[in-house]
């Protein structure tokens, strides 16, 4: 069982922070399907949070059922990260994560995110200040999410993780790429293993390119990591946590949901967005999300078009109910070639 500080997780599969995606409705959707050990907010700007900016507060919003929750903060040693961490704990965070891996200019140019990988000593001092502000008084763990290093010549993952452990960081998540790589190539499992080998006792969560349960199993087998974190794969397969939990915790292969069930997940997502956000978000999130989600659905161009061109949440709901009714009548789309490799890996597990 994966334990982060004082928090025992029910599943070793964690939903990654993803700016623009891991809002409350999406977290609740994944949790409702099952298998999410811990879910994170998008990265939060500490100044906006402490100022009470409505946008930052919306990103940090939580609700019953959204536990255990990790709030991810970004900034550098000059920013009020300890104060923001206290704010987060007072507003529902069970875990505070420090972003040390974001490669985008908006964050890294402000000396946060990945730039923290470039000066290990000052990053470790910053982490120590945040831990001291939080853990002794509240018992809540502070974690860090890192990449392997800035580039191949500056790999700092192993010594950084070890030093973070020594100042009280309760777990490290490592995305097996460098900052320079951005999302290119494949996540390096040997790089993740080196981080696992470097720490004494804290859990290491492996991250990168997990699409189906077999990928999670493979990453854990090769690296010895204690848990896995999934980002992009969850946008296509929010049920992947349920499947990973099934295989890793219960030794049960959970089959791929049917087309009808997938439409039900879309309906549930829409309902959660309308409950916790608003009409504008419903249109934006459903229209932009459908391309990724539908990749696992087969040939469903008319369904995608119906959602993309809808002018209201009610219209999206009508489109989805139409396809749901067809599915109830036994209709299923033809499979598509895209995603075939991942489907095959899922089948391997299902029939194993
Ligand atoms: C759209 C998008 C937004 C992201 N936002 C964040 C973020 O806010 N904080 C963070 O630590 N990582 C962020 N990431 C990185 C992911 O958490 C993860 O480390 C990376 O995508 C690799 O995992 P994956 O292969 O499962 O996608 C983001 C990734 C994507 C694709």
Per-residue model confidence as pLDDT tens digits over 127-172: 999 999 999 999 999 999 999 999 999 999 999 999 999 999 999 9
Specify the pLDDT at position 335: 84
- Is the predicted pLDDT of residue 349 greater than 60, yes or no? no
Same domain, 183 and 263: no
152 inside domain? yes
Q: What is the pLDDT of residue 107?
A: 83
Cβ contacts of 292 within 8 Å, gap of 6 or more: 232, 235, 236
72 lines ligand 1 (CB under 6 A): yes
Lowest model confidence (mean pLDDT) among 33-37, 92-96, 259-263, 335-339: 335-339
**Ranked by mean pLDDT, which of 103-107, 241-245, 339-343 comes out on top?**
241-245
The residue ranking higher by pLDDT, 72 or 105, is: 72
For residues 30-56, average pLDDT: 97
The rounded distance, in Å, linking the Cα atoms of 110 and 24 is 27
> Are 287 and 189 members of one domain?
no
Same domain as 216, residue 304: no
**Residues 171 and 135 both lie in one domain:** yes
| Marked catalytic residue, from 70, 102, 188, 225 | 102
Centre of ligand 1 to C-alpha 322, Å, is 33
Residue 348 domain-assigned (yes or no): no
What confidence score (pLDDT) does residue 346 get?
61
Same domain for 234 and 292:
no
Q: Does residue 341 have a pLDDT over 80? A: no
The pLDDT score that the predictor gives to residue 351 is 42
| Structural domain that includes position 296 | 259-328
pLDDT recorded at residue 110: 79
Question: Is the C-alpha dihedral spanning 244, 245, 249, 252 positive or negative?
Answer: negative
Average pLDDT, the chain: 94
Query: Domain containing 142 — which CATH number?
Result: 3.20.20.70
Counting ligand 1 atoms within 8 A of each CB, the residue from 16, 39, 232 with the most, and so the one to mutate, is: 16
Q: Report the 10 Å Cβ neighbour count for 323.
A: 23
pLDDT at 347: 53
Ligand 1 contact, 242 CB (< 6 A): no
Whether 230 is in the pocket of ligand 1, judged by its Cβ within 6 Å, is yes
Q: Within a domain: residue 120?
A: yes
Q: Is the CB of 231 under 6 A from ligand 1?
A: yes
- How many Cβ atoms are within 10 Å of 35's Cβ, its own excluded? 26
pLDDT of residue 189: 98
Does the structure show a pLDDT above 50 at 258? Answer: yes
Q: Is the CB of 195 under 6 A from ligand 1?
A: no
Average pLDDT over residues 96-108: 91
Q: Output the CA 104–ligand 1 centroid distance in Å.
A: 11
- Please return the burial class of 2, using the count of CB atoms within 10 Å of its CB with bins 0-12, 13-18 and 19+: buried
Whole-Å CA distances, 340 to 53, 70, 204, 297, 302: 43, 33, 30, 11, 21
Is the pLDDT confidence value at 343 over 70? no
Can you give the pLDDT at residue 177?
98
Instruction: Say if CB 272 and CB 238 are below 8 A apart.
Output: no
Beta bridge partners of 289: none
Domain boundary among 220, 250, 280: 250
Question: So what's the pLDDT on residue 350?
Answer: 46
Q: Please check whether residues 304 and 221 belong to one and the same domain.
A: no
Local confidence band at 348 (pLDDT 50, 70, 90 cut-offs): low
Last residue of a domain, one of 203, 227, 250: 250
Q: Which residues contact 226 (CB under 8 A, 6 or more apart)?
A: 2, 12, 171, 196, 203, 204, 205
Q: Is residue 349 part of a domain?
A: no
Q: Do residues 307 and 274 share a domain?
A: yes
Tell me if residue 102 is catalytic. Answer: yes
Task: For residues 8 and 96, state if they share a domain.
Answer: yes
- The reported pLDDT for the residue numbered 352 is 38
**Cα(121) to centroid of ligand 1, in Å?**
25
Atom of ligand 1 nearest to the CA of 177: 22
The whole-model pTM stands at 0.95
Per the domain annotation, does 347 fall within a domain?
no
First to last CA, the chain: 24
The last residue of a domain, from among 221, 250, 279: 250
Contact 160 CB / ligand 1 (< 6 Å): no
pLDDT of 75 reads 93
């Amino acid at each position: 069982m994966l334990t982060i500080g004082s928090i025992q997780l029910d599943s070793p599969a964690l939903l990654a922070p993803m700016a623009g995606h891991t809002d409350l409705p999406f977290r609740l959707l994944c949790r409702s399907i099952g298998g999410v050990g811990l879910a994170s907010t998008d990265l939060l700007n500490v100044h906006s949070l402490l100022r009470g900016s409505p946008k930052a507060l919306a990103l940090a919003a939580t609700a019953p059922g959204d536990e255990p929750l990790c709030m991810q903060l970004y900034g550098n040693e000059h920013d009020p990260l300890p104060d923001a961490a206290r704010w987060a704990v007072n507003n529902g965070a069970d875990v505070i994560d420090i972003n040390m891996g974001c490669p985008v200019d908006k964050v890294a140019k402000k000396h946060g995110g990945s730039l923290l990988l470039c000066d290990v000593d000052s990053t470790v001092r910053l982490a120590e200040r945040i831990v001291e502000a939080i853990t002794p008084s509240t018992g809540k763990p502070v974690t860090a999410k890192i990449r392997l290093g800035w580039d191949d010549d500056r790999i700092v993952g192993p010594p950084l993780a070890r030093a973070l452990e020594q100042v009280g960081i309760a777990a490290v998540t490592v995305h097996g790429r460098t900052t320079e790589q951005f999302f290119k190539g494949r996540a390096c499992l040997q790089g993740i293993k080196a981080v696992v080998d470097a720490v004494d006792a804290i859990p290491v969560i492996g991250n990168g390119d997990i699409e189906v349960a077999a990928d999670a199993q493979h990453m854990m087998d090769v690296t010895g990591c204690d848990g896995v974190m999934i980002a992009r794969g969850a946008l296509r397969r929010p049920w992947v946590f349920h499947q990973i939990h099934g295989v890793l915790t219960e030794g049960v292969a959970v089959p791929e949901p049917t087309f009808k069930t997938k439409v039900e997940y879309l309906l549930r997502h829409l309902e959660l967005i309308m409950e916790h956000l608003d009409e504008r978000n419903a249109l934006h999130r459903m229209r932009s999300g459908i391309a990724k989600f539908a990749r696992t659905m087969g040939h469903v161009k008319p369904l995608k078009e119906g959602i993309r061109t809808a002018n209201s949440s009610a219209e999206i709901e009508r489109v989805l109910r139409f396809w749901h009714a067809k599915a109830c009548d036994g209709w299923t789309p033809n499979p598509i070639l895209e995603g075939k490799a991942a489907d095959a890996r899922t089948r391997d597990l299902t029939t194993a």
